[in-house]
Amino acid sequence: MIYNLPYIAAGLIIVIGIITMVAKKDLIKIVMGLALVESGVNLFLVATGYIEGGIAPIFTNAGSERMVLPTVQAMTLTNIVIGIATTAMLLSFIMIIYKKYKTTDVTKVGRLKG
Amino acid sequence: MNLRKYVSAIIVVVLAVFFLLTTTGLEFGNPKNTQMDSYMTDNGQQMAAVNNIVSGVVFDFRGFDTLGEATVLFTAVLAVSLMFRKRKEEEDYEYE
Amino acid sequence: MNMSKIVRITADVILPFILVFGFYIIIHGHLTPGGGFQGGAVIATGIVLMFVAGRFDDIKKKFSLSALKNTESLGLLLFILTGLLAFTIGATFFYNWLANGGFIFGDAVAYGSNAGFFNTAGTIPLMNIAVGIEVIGAMGIIILYMLSGISEEEA
């Protein structure tokens, strides 16, 4: 059980992110909860591809011949860039909402004009 | 109002148990299927002539994913630049 | 929005080192860890440092909005062009048409651990440079729009 520590840490970060998204009332804190969930997913992806005693998959001045899996690291690179794009768009939405309603409380911006 | 808090607490507890239960079935440092990655590390230096296997995977073996990622970045910048435009004289545009 | 004198002088002194480090990470993507996305993020951090340390009005002439938009579109077009040029050989889209060829980036690599040689790896350095240019343009546009939205100025 003690050897699964990276997986337990990734699961805990995801759960803390979900709790932040559900229980907070400020818009910026909800977006930070979403960023926490994405960080936890990236950590879980990279921890999946570890081989015991392996080095980074780079052949320049390499020490040994045992390498970790490189496909998972490529997926994590793509996921980080997609996270940046999503967070930038959400934060610009929040700025436009603040300009119109003068508040960022999520219970007060729920008006629909008929 | 209290009913909403209790239902959301129960859902969060169910999700937490589900996320933390999958960690007991995996084994750290011993993945099961490594055939595709063994093929990439054995033949990457000859087919793509590159020393950094991760760059070879990102740009040569799986180039379509990188094309999709560049498009997602471009679309996000397009959306941000659409939110901050200047408005001309439009109708139906009044806020109290 | 003026920072103190120490911050402004330190930003002026340290900016060339940040730019050189970012270009090194981009261009050596096929030998050491790094590549297009990471190096582009480092260079964009250098540009944001100049925006934040109090020289917003001086930089707005050089790094104006239309210049950054042209940069980003040029980067994405270069990336697609590098993939489309594989049709002249007769292969599929995104085929590595320069590797093991001997033309511009086309030496062969010995098997196993070796000291890295720069002249290898085909179309991968060209794709690294294209993606680096695109990421610089994208990060610059996002930061410029958000800063002008905060301070109620024109972009």
CA of A106, closest CA in chain C: separation in Å?
21
Would you state the structure tokens that stand for residue C16, as one six-digit string? 């060339």
The candidate with the shortest Cα–Cα distance to A18, out of B11, B23, C116, C63, is B11
Q: Residues C57-61: contacts with CB within 8 Å, 24+ apart?
A: none
Q: Does B80 touch chain C (CB under 8 A)?
A: yes
Q: DSSP readout, chain C? A: ----HHHHHHHHHHHHHHHHHHHHHHHTTTTSS--HHHHHHHHHHHHHHHHHTT-HHHHHHHT-HHHHHHHHHHHHHHHHHHHHGGGGTT--TT--TTTTSSSSS-----SSSB---TT-STTHHHHHHHHHHHHHHHHHHHHHHHHHHHTT---
Q: How close B53 gets to chain C, by Cα (Å)?
A: 8
Pairwise CA distance, residues B41 & B46, whole Å: 10
Alpha-carbon gap, residue A38 to A90, rounded angstroms = 14
Contact state of C35 with B58 under an 8 Å Cβ cutoff: yes
Which 8-state DSSP code applies to residue B39?
H
Closest-approach residue (CA) in chain B for C79: B67
Q: Are A31 and A87 in contact (CB under 8 A)?
A: yes
* SS (HEC) of A50-93: CCCCCECCECECCCCCCECCCHHHHHHHHHHHHHHHHHHHHHHH
Q: Class of A2-101 per CATH?
A: mainly alpha
Residue B74 has what pLDDT?
96
> Backbone phi, then psi, for A48, in 5-degree steps?
-70, -30
Tell me whether residues C80 and B81 touch, CB distance under 8 A.
Answer: no
Q: Which residues are paired to C123 by β-bridges?
A: none
Q: Which residues of B touch C35 (CB under 8 A)?
A: 52, 54-55, 58-59
Q: What is the pLDDT of residue B21?
A: 86
Contact predicate C134/C72, CB 8 Å: yes
Residue from A66, A81, A89, A98 to probe the interface with C (highest C Cβ count within 10 Å): A81
Is some CB atom of chain B closer than 8 A to the CB atom of A83?
A: no
Chain A residues touching C37 at Cβ < 8 A: 77, 80-81
- C121–chain B Cβ distance below 8 A for any pair: yes
User: Residue B83 and residue A36: Cα distance in Å, rounded?
Assistant: 25
Judged against a pLDDT cut of 60, whether residue C154 lies above it is answered with no
Say if C109 falls within a structural domain.
Answer: yes
Would the CB atoms of C141 and B80 count as touching at under 8 Å?
Answer: yes
CA distance B28 to chain C (A): 24
Model confidence pLDDT, tens digit, residues C105-134: 888 888 888 888 888 888 999 999 999 999
Closest to A73 measured CA to CA, from A37, A42, A39, A36: A42
Q: Does B61 touch chain C (CB under 8 A)?
A: no
Domain holding C117, by residue range, is: 5-150
Alpha-carbon span B16 to C58, nearest angstrom = 51
Dihedral sign from CA coordinates of A67, A69, A75, A76:
negative
Sequence-ordered alpha helix ranges (H) in B1-96: 2-21, 35-47, 53-56, 63-83
pTM above 0.80, yes or no: yes
Q: pLDDT band at A114, cuts 50/70/90?
A: very low
Q: Is the CB of A81 inside 8 Å of chain C's CB atoms?
A: yes
Residues of chain A neighbouring C136 (CB-CB closer than 8 A): none
**CB atoms B50 and C124 under 8 Å:** yes
Q: Inform me whether the C-beta atom of residue A61 falls under 8 Å from chain B C-beta atoms.
A: no
pLDDT 10s digits, A36-94: 999 999 999 999 999 988 899 999 888 888 899 999 999 999 999 999 999 999 999 99
- In a domain? residue C155: no
In the prediction, which pLDDT does C103 show?
A: 80
In this complex, is the C-beta atom of A58 within 8 Å of any C-beta atom belonging to chain C? Answer: yes
DSSP class of residue B25 equals T
Residue B60 has pLDDT above 60, yes or no: yes
Which of the two residues, C109 and C41, has the higher pLDDT score?
C41
Rounded Cα gap, residues B81 and C113, in angstroms: 47
Total domain count, chain C: 1
Look at chain C and count its residues: 155
Cross-chain Cβ contact C115/A61 below 8 Å: yes
CB contact under 8 A, A92 and B69: no
Q: Are C123 and C98 in contact (CB under 8 A)?
A: yes
Q: What is the CA radius of gyration of chain C?
A: 19
Quick check: B95 pLDDT over 70? no
